[in-house]
Amino acid sequence: MPKKYIVIIKTIGRRWFLFLVAIILIVAIYNPIAAIWMSGITLVLFLLSYVPRLLFKRKLHKFLRKYYKIEDELIARKFKKSLLKIQDEMFELSQKQEKKDWLIAFLNKQYIFYHEKTIAKFEEVYNKGFSEKEILDNLKDYKVTTRAEIKAMKDSLVKLNRLSEREISVKEHKDKQRFEI
């Protein structure tokens, strides 16, 4: 069982903002100028607390662009962060990907990042009327390994309205291949 002073320190750490507001209000009663200074310092410290998160997001985005495909577990190992934190960041990125060239798909309880070159190649072969198996064969160089990934990519792109109608349907493509021989 943790000691009482550790529990008290953790409670203060979790509720530091409320304690600080109470202290500023008490100081404001006796010395308004000191309360203004304390409020300014508190505001600056509060704003500075967001800097590490912004730097982490920038570092994460730069890291993701190096890979054609990368899963959240590998990202967590590379950054030495918890999987939950990485999944939270990936979720936030996935909510803002409508106008981005890359794609983040959720498959089998994990987030997978696909590079813009992978997505461009997927859209190219999809529009040519290729089936899932043919698309998978064309995307082997981009580290795409399963049909479930192809389906997740397609579903995500359709949901985001980033996938246009096929130029040739799968049936037309197969008929064309069969009669060309």
Give 179's pLDDT tier (boundaries 50, 70, 90). Answer: confident
SS3 119: helix
Percent of the chain with pLDDT over 70: 96
Lowest mean pLDDT among 19-28, 32-41, 92-101, 165-174: 165-174
Radius of gyration in angstroms for the set of CA atoms belonging to the chain, rounded to a whole number: 25
What is d(CA 71, CA 75) in angstroms, rounded to the nearest whole number?
7
pLDDT at 106: 93
pLDDT tens for each residue of 107-132 = 999 999 999 999 999 999 988 888 88
CA 135 to centroid of chain Cα atoms: 25
Classify residue 139 as exposed, middle or buried by CB count within 10 Å of its CB (0-12, 13-18, 19+): buried
Q: Retrieve residue 74's tokens.
A: 């590998």
Which pair of tokens denotes residue 23? 């202290």
pLDDT tens for each residue of 35-57: 888 888 888 877 887 888 888 88
- Identify the residue with better confidence: 74 or 166: 74
* pLDDT tens readout for residues 72-96: 999 999 999 999 999 999 999 999 8
- Asked if 172 contacts 129 with a C-beta cutoff of 8 angstroms, the reply is yes
In angstroms, the CA 66 to CA 31 distance is 55
Give the rounded percent of residues in the chain with a pLDDT score beyond 90.
40
